[in-house]
Chain A
Amino acid sequence: MSKKNVELRIKELQTNVATVKDLQLSFGRLITETWTEKMGPTPFPNVLDLREWDHKLLQRYKPLYMPQSDVCDLCTMGKCDLTAGKKGACGIDIATQQSRLALLTACIGAACHTAHSRHLLEHLIEKYGPRYPINVGGINVEVEAPITRLVTGIRPKTISDFEEALDYLENQLTHLLASIHTGQEASNIDFESKVLHAGMLDHVGLEIGDIAQIATFGFPKADPDAPLVEIGGGVVETQKPVILCIGHNVATAVEIVDYLKANNQFEEVEVCGLCCTAQDVARYDSRTKIIGPISWQLRFIRSGMADVIVVDEQCVRVDTFTEAQKINTPVIATLDKISLNLPNRTKDAPDQVITDLVDGKIPGVLITDPAKAGEIAVKTAIQMAPKRQKFKSIPDVADVIESAKKCTVCQECRRACPQDLVIPEAIKVAGEGNLNQLAELYEDCIGCGRCEYVCPVAIPPHTFILKAAEAQIKQEKYKIQAGRGAIQDTEIRNVGSPIVLGEIPGVVGFVGCSNYPHGRRDVAEMVATFANRRYIVVTSGCAAMSSAMYKNEEGQTVYEAFPKGFEAGGIVNVGSCVANSHIAGAAIKIASIFAKRNLRGNYEEIADYILNRVGAVGVAWGAYAQKAFSIGSGCWRLGVPVIVGPHGTKYKRMLLGRKEREEDWYAYDARTGDRVFVGPAPEHLFFAAETKEEAMVMIAKLCIRANDTTKGRAIKLTHYIDLHKRLYGVLPDDIHMFVRTLADVPITMKDEIIRILDEKKWVEGRIPDPTLLARMIRKKKEEA
């Protein structure tokens, strides 16, 4: 490990030659090496170090650009019309512009996670000291930081060891951002390589944040038995003062819990949260409540339940403060990223700040000291609760009906709705006294509120939907497993072989946000489907929450109905957005622990291993954020395909393979050096599905890998073909592309598949030891 900026001061040094006084030596970096693993070729890779690997991926998985805007307006020579071959004033074309915007998106996401981790780490070092040891799973986790090890080549022992990695991330992100400036990068493929670089950096940032908080806050440590936590709009005990925490950085929420505990007030005050702060504070204390994902923000705030709202960072609605004022609830902003033009009262005495908030002299404050913000939040909530009386901004039924009568069915609300919900007709019927149609819109509504900004007669449809669905929301009481963090090394040892051989058909991570095309039930259904098929299912973030918000016939959520281990048929909630690092980390650990590949600074080899051997797929069904894009980018570079829902096309570019182009699907056989056809496995790296049915079939298909054993391939094909038949009503038309030898054919489908192979004039191939890297060939093919 290494230490930065070490200073050595010697007051007086006597030697045979001379006496030296007041000697001061500074070291830029002091390396105290205890890790014996050989350093790989790319520790701390710069923007160009993995470019060759990226280009191999991009040769196979070509970008499909779908511009949202035909113009570029990033400089004052514009706007420039880039439509269909036209170039801008700087010479840029639309493909390069799209890849440039993709890099910008990835940089925003990666910067968010890096800055989040930087803030958290600085706070934790101040609170717990720089030498606080890293422990993410005790003796069960020896490879504690697989991504950091892989990318940087350092093995962190204490939380301050991460500082060097964060310096690296900040440095690289600056270089990437610089390349977006006008007159810099001119190749869309090199922009795409930089997107992948940003994604890789993002994963390091994620890992640092989650490991630091697991270690210091005592979150579940790779614990399959992490407790169940209450989740849903109906779980909040509204007779108590309620503190609502929104965002992703749990530092202040932890201080709220600590303050309550220290003052024996925990039972008197309800602490709940939205989005990933909720997930993380539930990892800290499982008695806290999770309301739900990001799309629940507006609906919960308007319900009036919160007596104080604490915002930290990321995915916090920008109108939170305005909405809070409508329900007379003070807002406490806690970070530089979201300051809301509120007065910074961090240095003031807490009691004075509380008095000003409770008396209504100020509607909110900025408090950047987490401990102080925690105390102010608790005391303010307790004093505000009797004054507010849960004042809400949702009208009574009579008011809804009366207001709905004004509707002219002009369609503007529907035309503003990202889901194209048939709102006008529901409003019209509401005006006749029937709110049922409005209630039916609740499940599909993503809670954005856009319908309310366009109504010419000032009807607020979203609010009316909430009123109509009020009873339904009160019944939202579910259980989710608290985020358990890392996957144990022992779990990896147990499943490594069946995953790599293909006998466990795949690892499917359901991650990301809640911009679903048809509500949360789709995610819950997909999670259950793949767990039932004995895939390993991993969840995180908003998708983990949505998965919990649906019960089976026995009244159980997926977290109650399925095993909790990282095992075939298990469902594992790793935690918040930053805990996504453990999903990528598990894939890396399979290469490291099971296959014993060197990890240290050895990115390309590990990514090559994962691409060809580890049947892992990420599904971000409701991805909306730049962060989701950067997380996805990190997966692509690592060789893990990502599927998004139809709204995910708005990321404006896919990475698609072309299965019929035989020349794209060759790899080296590491045993002989031969170039061998390996088939389209996996077929795509970034894919948007139109429907959940299409997504499910594609999940099964993208788990197929070049290295599958015949038994493994037969199992994977069984799932792919069976899902296709069930959901599409026909056999897939590309089975022949995935059958290498007759032993790959699922025994129960043999007759019909053999018939297809005959029709397609299929020729038997071979199963190589696949790699895209020439340097991995063990025996060079002799020249003829």
Chain B
Amino acid sequence: MATAEPWQRAEIAGPTKAFVIPKPDVFVAMVKRAKRPILIAGHKVVEVTEGEPYIDSIIRIAKAANMPLVATAHTVGEFIKRGFQPTAWMPAVDITSRLEDPSWKGFDGMGQYDLAIFTGIPYYMEWLMLSALKHFAPNLKTISLDRFYQPQASWSFPNVSLKDWKTYLETIGNQLEVK
């Protein structure tokens, strides 16, 4: 099942498609290499379609990489319940419009982010957020940290099984915690 085809078959955009992240190590290397990464987490980190909520894995990754985390939709409360304070919360379309704005200085006022990692937003919606950034944020790289291949990102995991994905998240957490 590990293919680099859009999870939803018809979600084909055009000539530029996401590079496939073959293994978690690559993801970790990209995060470590980034100067100003940011993590955007949607409601599906809790309200999963199948399997178990993975919000704890996302908190672990954000903490380990010391990355700012933006909770979209109504997800902020779920993070706080787990003792984690997101950097900000705002709708997915709002964070997208800010990420593509070259004059936006970020949540800390220190300037644009260079890597945006998306997870937990409905597939078709995240696809469109990533499309906006592909076209209008030339200095931003994007990664989909979801189970399914997102062709509109700069980098994406392929479609993987629940079991493999769980292992990926675990591995990413472990490796990021190694300083």
Give A contacts to B, CB under 8 Å.
62, 64-71, 81-85, 94-95, 411-412, 415-416, 418, 420, 422, 425, 454, 517, 646-647, 649-650, 652, 654, 656, 658, 687-691, 693-694, 697-698, 727-730, 733
Contact = CB atoms under 8 A, between A and B. Distances in A.
Interface stretch (B21-29, B42-50, B60-68, B110-118): B42-50
Contacts of B76: 728-730
A698 B9 contact: no
A694 B94 CA distance: 12
A658 B101 CA distance: 11
A694 B73 CA distance: 5
Given A64-B97, A420-B8, A730-B76, A690 B132 contact: no
B42 A690 contact: yes
B88 interface: yes
Contacts of A67: 13, 131-132, 135
A658 B103 CA distance: 12
Interface in B1-29: 1, 7-10, 13-16
Given A81-B15, A84-B138, A415-B7, A420 B123 contact: yes
A481 B31 CA distance: 56
B155 interface: no
Contacts of A688: 92-93, 125
A727 B75 CA distance: 9
A656 B135 contact: no
Nearest to A418: B124
B74 interface: yes
B109 to A, nearest CB: 11
Contacts of B96: 64, 66
Contact of A690 (B10, B13, B43, B138): B43
A68 B131 contact: yes
B13 A70 contact: yes
Contacts of B89: 728, 730, 733
5 contacts: A68-B13, A85-B135, A422-B50, A658-B101, A691-B43
B15 A690 contact: no
Contact of B93 (A412, A418, A425, A687): A687
Contact of B73 (A62, A81, A689): A689
B134 interface: yes
Contacts of A658: 97-98, 101
B122 A690 contact: yes
Contact of A654 (B9, B93, B101, B123): B93
A454 B43 contact: no
A649 B128 CA distance: 7
B178 interface: no
A233 B8 CA distance: 30
Contacts of A652: 128
A691 B135 contact: no
A646 B13 contact: no
Interface in B105-146: 121-125, 128-129, 131-132, 134-136, 138
A652 to B, nearest CB: 7
A95 B100 CA distance: 13
B156 interface: no
A66 B132 contact: yes
Given A66-B128, A690-B121, A415 B93 contact: no
Q: Which among A62, A67, A658 has the highest number of chain B CB atoms within 10 Å?
A: A67
Contacts of B138: 84-85
Contacts of A729: 74, 76-78, 80-81
Contacts of B93: 64, 649, 654, 656, 687-688
Contacts of B101: 658
Given A66-B128, A94-B135, A729-B77, A415 B8 contact: yes
Q: Which among A65, A71, A697 has the highest number of chain B CB atoms within 10 Å?
A: A65
A757 B81 CA distance: 25
A656 B92 CA distance: 12
Nearest to A80: B14
B171 to A, nearest CB: 24
Given A70-B14, A658-B101, 9 more contacts: A67-B135, A81-B15, A82-B14, A418-B8, A454-B9, A517-B122, A689-B91, A728-B76, A730-B80
Contacts of B13: 67-70
A69 to B, nearest CB: 6
Contacts, number: 136
A658 B90 CA distance: 12
A517 B47 CA distance: 13
A647 B73 contact: no
Given A420-B8, A649-B125, A84 B97 contact: no
B150 interface: no
A600 B1 CA distance: 63
A66 B131 contact: yes
Contacts of B81: 729
Contacts of B92: 688, 690
A700 to B, nearest CB: 13
Among all A-B residue pairs, the 7 with the closest Cβ atoms = A729-B77, A70-B14, A693-B74, A66-B128, A690-B73, A66-B132, A691-B73
A517 B101 CA distance: 29
A223 to B, nearest CB: 38
Nearest to A410: B1
Contacts of B50: 422, 425
A647 B125 CA distance: 7
Contacts of B98: 658
A84 B17 CA distance: 12
Nearest to A425: B50
A66 B124 contact: no
A416 B80 CA distance: 35
A59 to B, nearest CB: 15
A577 to B, nearest CB: 25
B1 to A, nearest CB: 8
Contacts of A411: 1
B151 to A, nearest CB: 10
Contacts of A83: 14-16, 134-135
Q: Which among B7, B72, B93 has the highest number of chain A CB atoms within 10 Å?
A: B93
B124 A650 contact: yes
Nearest to B88: A733
Nearest to B17: A70
A418 B149 CA distance: 16
A391 B81 CA distance: 54
A443 B78 CA distance: 26
B97 A646 contact: no
B8 to A, nearest CB: 6
A694 B125 contact: no
Contacts of A82: 14, 135
A418 B9 CA distance: 10
Q: Which among B72, B89, B91, B122 has the highest number of chain A CB atoms within 10 Å?
A: B91
Nearest to A71: B14
A646 B131 contact: no
B9 A66 contact: no
B75 to A, nearest CB: 8
Nearest to A62: B97
A83 B135 CA distance: 6
A730 B77 contact: yes
Contacts of A85: 135, 138
B91 A70 contact: no
Contacts of A517: 122
A691 B45 CA distance: 13
A574 to B, nearest CB: 29
Contacts of A698: 91
Nearest to B103: A661
A65 B136 contact: yes
A438 B130 CA distance: 32
A507 B22 CA distance: 51
A95 B14 CA distance: 16
Contact of A70 (B15, B72, B78, B88): B15
A415 B131 contact: no
A656 B122 contact: no
Contacts of A65: 132, 135-136
B77 A84 contact: no
